Amino acid sequence: MNRRKFIKSGSMALFGSLAIPTFAYGHEKQSIDKSNSSVTWAMEHFGVTETDLKKVLTIALEKGGTYADLFFEHTFNNNVSLRDGAVNRSYSNIDYGVGVRVLAGDQTGYAYVENITLKEMIKAARTAARIATSNKAGKTANLVDKPITKNYYAVASPWEKVTLKDKMPYLQKLNNKIFDLDKRVQKVSASINDSTSHILFCNSKGTTYYDYRPMVSLSAVCIMEENGRIENNYAARSYRKGFEFLNDDLIDVLAHEVVNKTAILFKAIKPKGGEMPVVMGAGGSGILLHEAIGHAFEADFNRKNISIFSDQLNKKICNENISVVDDGTIPFNRGAINIDDEGVDGQKTYIVKNGILTSYLHDRISAKFYGIPSTGNGRRESFRQMPIPRMRATYMEAGNMNEDDIIASVSKGVFVDNFTNGQVQIGAGDFTFFVKSGYLIENGKLTQPIKDINIIGNGPKALADITMVANNDKIDNGTWMCGKDGQSCPVTCGMPSALVSKLTVGGES
């Protein structure tokens, strides 16, 4: 394919006619025949040659950099939405460019260009190269294809081949179903967002890969009115899947969920605030792990000694029945990565094993600092940003109790299982999550529904205060988006039901 042809198909792809390579979907194994490899296809796609890449990497290291990488990205994003009963809005975006990163020890130089020509790439490489000052030019190895051997998101029906017309009926069905379920429904908005990224990567160690990254989400907002009072709620599912993601069962599940989550709010009150036991319901409660320990385990904070967990590696930090994982290998999960954004294989990492803090989450810089292999957590929002340690799917493994027994053990507290957002202070350890709805626990039973309250705790203390874990482990496949240093990354989280013996619950005094 020559460059002009690529350009033409590149823009066509937005609406469904780019011929994508067969190795990008449907097959577990790919051809590693160099002449027909995915990397070769991707180089043609971006209009670059192996000689170009080596030249740019060499220039990137000419001021004394110790490592350099190039991250090419071509992303097609499509959104179609329904409002007031009609699917009448669409938005699409094409993003295209390459980022050049140079490391000099733990220092980073970064530049990117949107116009991928040798001249522009060299200019960006010279900018990024300035981070190094030794003037002792670094070496670039020969580029070697690193085929994706385990594809965690092989799609059956790629978005490139799907038109707006194919997606629209699902939004209409979702809308109709929600209205059918409850007479109090006033407004529904729903949308399908899909994206497809073609990633070509190479670095000065010679690692070169192509990865095809699909993503889709279906979401609905429901607004209900009861006796003049209005409430709203949101439900969504997201996976690294193709068009096969959309089906009638999903529509049915999501419609019921958003209606139930909204209706409960009319019965809910603000609880009396203060310190109390909190039972975290299975699923979205993984937000506690994400905020209370996940961020504080990201190794950039620890190598800089600014995390509250900086001195805790290999120490017991919680009950020995607790194991927590950050996992990039769950098939089709929103947080799955075949290979991270600096060429390290996607993997499953135990961050807490039987109560011991066993690993931080590493990128190349922190792995080098600690003298260990990277855990494959180096991720970036796009070619515009440098990779940093990020979570993938963060969850707690199952315990051995029944949820009912855990609830029964609490005489006065709250049960929470529906969340919107959270935040953490890495160094102080204070973390929060916002509870959209839950229940009071009175004498071991769920009683009055509650809503719209923030819960705050301190990471190490909250972790140590997890005294019971149930056997109902569950990943929440909602549209979780994690923000850090101005970069957004798709993630998921999960947890079995668990008791935290003491957290501060917002409420009336």
Partner 1 sequence: MITKNDKNLAQWALDFALKNGCQASRINLYSSSNTSFDLRNGKMDKLQQASESGMTIHLYVDGRYGTYSTNRLVKKELEDFIKNGIEATRFLATDEFQVLPESSRYYKGGKPDLQLLDPKFEKIHPDDKIALAKAVADEIMGKDKRIVSVNSLYYDGENFNYRLNSNGFEGESQTSYYGLGSNVSIKGDGDARPSDGWYESAVYFDDLIKKDIGRTALERVLRKIGQKKVKSGKYTMVVDKTVAGRLLGPLMDALYGSALQQKNSFLLNKLGEKIGSSKLTLLDEPHLPKARGARYFDYEGVATEPRTIFENGVLKTYFIDTYNAKKMNVAPTISSPSILILKKGNKDLSGLISEVENGILVTGFNGGNSNSSTGDFSYGIEGFLIEKGKMTTPISEMNVTGNMTQLWASLIEIGNDPRLTSSWRIPSLVFENVDFSGL
CA–CA distances in Å: residue 364 to residues 127, 199, 300, 356, 382 = 21, 19, 10, 23, 18
- Which among 420, 434, 461 has a CA at the least distance from the CA of 236? 420
State how far the Cα of 55 lies from the Cα of 181, in Å rounded to an integer: 62
Query: How many helices and strands (H and E) does the chain possess?
Result: 11, 23
Burial pattern 153-181, b for ≥16 Cβ within 10 A else e, equals: bbbebbbbbbeeeebbebbebbbebbbeb
What is the nearest approach in angstroms of partner 1 to the Cβ of residue 283?
19
Beta strands (DSSP E) in 247-342 are 274-280, 324-327
Closer residue to partner 1, CB minimum distance, 404 or 508: 508
CB 415 within 8 A of CB 281: yes
Which token pair is 261?
């989550």
- In the complex, the smallest distance separating the C-beta of residue 335 from partner 1, rounded to whole angstroms, is 21
Least Å from the CB of residue 431 to partner 1? 8
Q: How far is the CB of 452 from partner 1 (least distance, A)?
A: 4
Q: Whose Cβ is closer to partner 1: residue 6's or residue 152's?
A: 6
- In whole angstroms, the minimum distance from the beta carbon of 17 to partner 1 comes to 9
* Shortest CB 154 distance to partner 1, Å: 27
Which amino acid, residue 79?
Answer: N
How far is residue 210's CA from residue 39's CA, in Å, rounded to a whole number? Answer: 5
Instruction: Output 432-438 pairs: Cβ under 8 A, ≥24 positions apart.
Output: 432/291, 432/456, 432/457, 433/287, 433/288, 433/291, 436/233, 436/261, 436/265, 437/233, 437/261, 437/264, 437/265, 437/268, 438/281, 438/414
Task: Kindly tell me which of 312 and 359 has the beta carbon lying closer to partner 1.
Answer: 312
Q: Closest approach of Cβ 426 to partner 1, in Å?
A: 8
Toward partner 1, which CB reaches closer, 186 or 471? 186
Residue closer to partner 1, measured from CB, 232 or 472: 232
Q: Which is nearer to partner 1, 40 or 172 (CB)?
A: 172
Q: How far is the CB of 122 from partner 1 (least distance, A)?
A: 14
In the bound state with partner 1, the residue whose beta carbon lies nearer, of 72 and 112, is 112
- Whether residue 342 contacts residue 322, with contact meaning beta carbons closer than 8 Å, is answered with no
Q: Which is nearer to partner 1, 307 or 359 (CB)?
A: 307
